[in-house]
């Protein structure tokens, strides 16, 4: 079994790499999906968020209004720390349960890929045998955020500014996937990385 961390800056193309690794056969454990699961209506996580930030962060149907919560915590370090203190232990427990289930069902050559957007920021690289960083120029990240997520260039730059720097992410990488080329280039590089991961897991 091989435990792999996958990360990259917002707009770098990490989700595209994650999809391709899963298609090759990796077991994907997605921190973003876990983050959504632990704040579904009726969960202790959502109740704690409402207690901390008030009912204004809820939609009319009782679900979490993520854009509204983002407005509350973005640019407010104390609020962000409070939110992280609520979410991170819940997300970690959720992922650990999913990992345990995958291990119980998988074989010796299992490749577990943990998709963790803020891996560099959380100083968690040491928990993985390999760390994949999806990399590319900042200009390409901004262009993708504008085209695919409807952000302005200023909004994209602001989101990138609160994440780890490109240099900080590359410093924790054992494998770098350059996503500055075409999708065909990305397919080829991910296939190369997958062959390496499978071989390493089998060893």
- Span 171-194, pLDDT tens digits: 999 999 999 889 999 999 999 999
**Per-residue model confidence (pLDDT) at position 170:** 92
* Cβ neighbours for 149, distance < 8 A, ≥ 6 positions apart: 11, 156
pLDDT exceeds 90 at position 198: yes
Average pLDDT of the residues of the chain: 90
| 74 or 176, higher pLDDT | 176
pLDDT exceeds 90 at position 10: no
> What is the rounded average pLDDT of the residues 120-142?
86
> What is the rounded average pLDDT of the residues 154-165?
81
The model carries a pTM of: 0.79
At 93, give phi and psi (nearest 5°).
-65, -40
Is residue 108 classed as helix, strand or coil in its secondary structure?
coil
DSSP for residue 127: G
Overall domain count for the chain = 1
> What is the rounded average pLDDT of the residues 57-73?
92
* Cβ neighbours for 103, distance < 8 A, ≥ 6 positions apart: 1, 110, 112
The Cβ-side half-sphere exposure at 172, using a 13 Å CA radius, reads 26
pLDDT exceeds 90 at position 138: no
**Per-residue model confidence (pLDDT) at position 129:** 95
* pLDDT band with cut points at 50, 70 and 90 for residue 32: confident
Is residue 134 classed as helix, strand or coil in its secondary structure?
strand
- Beta pairing, strands 111-115 & 27-30: parallel
**CA 33/CA 68 separation, integer angstroms:** 19
DSSP 2-64: EEEEEEE-TTSSHHHHHHHHHHHT-EEEEHHHHHHHTTSTTSHHHHHHHHHH-GGGB-TTSSB
Q: Which domain holds residue 144?
A: 2-202
pLDDT exceeds 80 at position 3: yes
pLDDT exceeds 80 at position 122: no
pLDDT exceeds 90 at position 114: yes
> What is the rounded average pLDDT of the residues 119-137?
88
> Minimal CA–CA distance to 12: which of 144, 181, 119?
144
CATH number at residue 9: 3.40.50.300
| 186 or 31, higher pLDDT | 186
């Amino acid at each position: 079994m091989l435990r792999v961390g996958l990360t990259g800056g917002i707009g770098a193309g990490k989700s595209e790499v994650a999809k391709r690794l899963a298609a090759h056969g990796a077991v994907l454990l997605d921190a973003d999906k876990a983050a959504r699961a632990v704040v579904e209506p009726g969960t202790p996580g959502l109740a704690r968020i409402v207690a901390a930030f008030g009912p204004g962060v809820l939609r009319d149907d009782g679900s979490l209004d993520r854009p509204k919560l983002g407005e509350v915590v973005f640019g407010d370090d104390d609020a962000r720390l409070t939110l992280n203190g609520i979410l991170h232990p819940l997300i970690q427990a959720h992922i650990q349960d999913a990992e345990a289930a995958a291990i119980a069902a998988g074989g010796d050559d299992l490749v577990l890929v943990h998709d963790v957007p803020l891996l560099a920021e959380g100083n968690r690289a040491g928990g993985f045998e390999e760390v994949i960083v999806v990399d590319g120029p900042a200009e390409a990240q901004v262009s993708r955020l504008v085209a695919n997520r409807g952000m302005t260039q200023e909004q994209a730059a602001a989101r990138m500014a609160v994440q780890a720097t490109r240099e900080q992410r590359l410093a924790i990488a054992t494998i770098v996937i350059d996503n500055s080329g075409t999708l065909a280039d990305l397919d080829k590089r991910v296939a190369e990385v997958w062959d390496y991961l499978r071989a390493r897991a089998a060893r």
